[in-house]
Structure 1
Amino acid sequence: MSSFRSHVYVSVFLLSTLIPFSQQVLNEHNQKLEWIVGKWRSEFSGKIFWPTVPTMTFGEELVINEAPIAKSANVQFLNFSARAWSHSTKDHFHDEWGFLTVDPAGNATLMTTGNNGFTTYETGTVSPNKLVLTLKDIGRISFSRDLPVEDLRRTFIRHDDRYMEQVIEMRTATHPKVGYLEHTRVVYTKLK
């Protein structure tokens, strides 16, 4: 991963942990994401699929909150965090921290960094109750044990006021040769 990316993602992580959450009004562009804002949790409905690993079940908590507007850039982001664990053993899988926003043209951007050694930059489209993001760039630490991810598509679908689903499809250096394979699927319940 480039030195610049390393500094950006370390800065993002530090700022997201040091700045307290405050209630902000979503700007007109981010109002398109109002349906995804909140705390979502799945105790055991997450499923991991991949040709080189056993299929397993996991739990995950996803939190998407309003963030203060970055006055230097006059951009409003939503804070994004996800924490996943093994359903059967309760072992910690990974964390993701980042920011989500919609630009004036209606394009969504999600930037994340995780304790699995990956940083991602994803863009896509948002429609009522659906967000589809595809990978634009990825960084990884040099000693990560995972296969290099070459492409990724992340889809959020809100089914109703209580349930939302996230599906991650990807392509690595070895699977598949073209297109995507489903990697994870999780159905969340919205917490109050």
Structure 2
Amino acid sequence: MINRFSVYFWSSTIVIFILMFTSSSAKIAPKKCKDTDMNCAVWVAANSSDCDNVELVSGHCLRTCGACGEEIDPKYDVRLLPPKLKSIAWMVGRWRSEFGGKAFFPTIPKFTYGEQVDITIADNTDDMKTPLLNYTAFAWDINMPDGDPTEIHSENGYIAVDYDKEQEKEYVSLNTAMSNGFMTIEEGESGPNQVKFRLQRIGRISFSHDSAVRIMFREWTLLDENRLEARLLMTTTITRRLMEHTAVIYKKIYP
């Protein structure tokens, strides 16, 4: 004879068994802690308190908000950017392409290369009249054995931002010193997750060869939260028309 107590007993037993089985054999893998929106750096730089108060930011920007269980190196923490640099927060990071760089130009053989770019917050930038980001780039020959990259080009420099009140436009400047003995001053307008620099001045050390470059554009475009595209276009005394020289898509490896 089955009574209410029997039904309750067996129902409870089944529920307990199901719970035990579920907890022991059906574990859910933890979600990888990452950003899921390409605007995270700019959002968080503009107002870091949004990490706690705005659901859109807290839900999509775990890594930029520092919610992944590890502290972000202050050099890469966009929450520490001074006001003038907040609009270009999307640049900050360590970007790398193992073998995706491509170089092509009529005067040189086509080749593929690897490159790493570091864009960081300069030390004591809050105390500077013109706040700066540090910029370094290192390109290597991918045909060499692993662990022994041979440098083919490197650059070091600074990035600054200025707002023209009369034109109501924001300008970004990049000045570089290159391993081939050249120095450049480049400027361009800043857009959402993109900047296009145009060469303003080029100089060289006295014992370097003359520069054939007449016009140069450098374009950086954030494709998504993990990828940055860089293109370099030039006109020289030989080609006399604007042509693409290098193109590479980096993956963000830190933070």
TM-score of the pair, normalised by structure 2: 0.62
2:232 alignment partner in structure 1: 168
1:114-142 superposed Cα distances (whole Å, 9 cap, x missing partner): 11111000000111111100000000123
1:152 alignment partner in structure 2: 216
Q: Distance in 2 between matches of 1:111 and 1:159?
A: 24
1:138 aligned to 199, 202, 216, which one?
202
1:25 aligned to 63, 74, 80, which one?
80
Q: Give the number of the structure whose alpha-carbon radius of gyration is greater.
A: 2
Please state how far the C-alpha of 1:148 moved relative to its aligned partner. 1.9
Q: Distance in 2 between matches of 1:36 and 1:70?
A: 18
Matches within 5 A, 1:4-15: none
1:181 alignment partner in structure 2: 243
2:26 alignment partner in structure 1: none
1:69 aligned to 114, 125, 146, which one?
125
Please state how far the C-alpha of 1:103 moved relative to its aligned partner. 0.7
1:128 alignment partner in structure 2: 192
**Contact 1:120–1:139, Cα closer than 8 Å, also in 2:** yes
Please state how far the C-alpha of 1:147 moved relative to its aligned partner. 4.6
**Contact 1:48–1:185, Cα closer than 8 Å, also in 2:** yes
- Between the two proteins, what is the percent identity of the paired residues? 36
Q: Distance in 1 between matches of 2:163 and 2:84?
A: 6
Q: Distance in 2 between matches of 1:78 and 1:45?
A: 25
Superposed CA RMSD: 1.8
1:143–1:171 distance in 2 versus 1, CA, 3 Å:
farther
1:146–1:163 distance in 2 versus 1, CA, 3 Å:
farther
**Contact 2:82–2:125, Cα closer than 8 Å, also in 1:** no
Is 1:92 aligned to 2:154, yes or no?
Answer: no
**Contact 1:147–1:173, Cα closer than 8 Å, also in 2:** no
Is 1:49 aligned to 2:104, yes or no?
Answer: yes
1:184–1:59 distance in 2 versus 1, CA, 3 Å:
same
1:136-186 superposed Cα distances (whole Å, 9 cap, x missing partner): 0000123334752111100001100111100000112211x24x1100001
Is 1:116 aligned to 2:116, yes or no?
Answer: no
What secondary structure is seen at the aligned counterpart in 1 of 2:156?
strand
Q: Which runs of 5+ in 1 are unaligned?
A: 1-20
TM-score of the pair, normalised by structure 1: 0.82
Q: Which runs of 5+ in 2 are unaligned?
A: 1-73, 165-169
1:118–1:169 distance in 2 versus 1, CA, 3 Å:
same
